[in-house]
Amino acid sequence: MLKRITAQELIAWREAGRAFVLLDVRDEDEYAAGHIPGSINIPVREIADQRDKLPEDLLMPLVVYCQSGIRARRACMLLDQIGYAALYELGGISAWPGTLER
C-alpha cells in the first residue's frame, strides 16, 4: 500500500531510529550530483534487475523518491507488484530540507 511521507516525518523516523530503506530511483548521474544521505540508488528502469539490492523482508518500509515524484510513483507501482507492502512516496528530492550528499 502506497502512502505519502513528508520530509519532516522522514526526519522524525530517523531520529526515532525506525528501520526503513530510503530508495532514490533517479539515474546514476543524478544520484551522483546529490542525494539524500543514507539512500541507495536503483534507477526505476532497473528495479526488476537489481532486486538483490532491495531488502528480502517485504514488510520493510521503503521510502522512495526521485526528482519530481513521477518516477517515485512508477517505482512504487513496480515494488507493489513485487510484493512490498510498506511503500512510502517522499516525492521529489526538492522536498528534502537537509544537506545533500555527493
pLDDT digits (tens, 9 = 90+) for 66-98: 999 999 999 999 999 999 999 999 989 998 999
* Residue 86 forms part of a structural domain: yes
76 catalytic? Reply is no
* Residue 102 forms part of a structural domain: no
| Model pLDDT for residues 27-49, shown as the tens digit of each residue | 999 999 999 999 999 999 999 99
Q: Kindly name the residue from 5, 66, 75, 79 that is annotated as catalytic.
A: 66
* Residue 31 forms part of a structural domain: yes
CA distance to 51, 82, 84, 95, per residue, from 34 (Å): 23, 28, 26, 13
In this structure, what CATH number is given to the domain that contains residue 91? 3.40.250.10
* Residue 100 forms part of a structural domain: no
If one counts the domains in the chain, the total is 1
Give the structural domain span for 62. Answer: 2-95
CB 69 within 8 A of CB 89: yes
* Residue 35 forms part of a structural domain: yes
* Residue 101 forms part of a structural domain: no
* Residue 87 forms part of a structural domain: yes
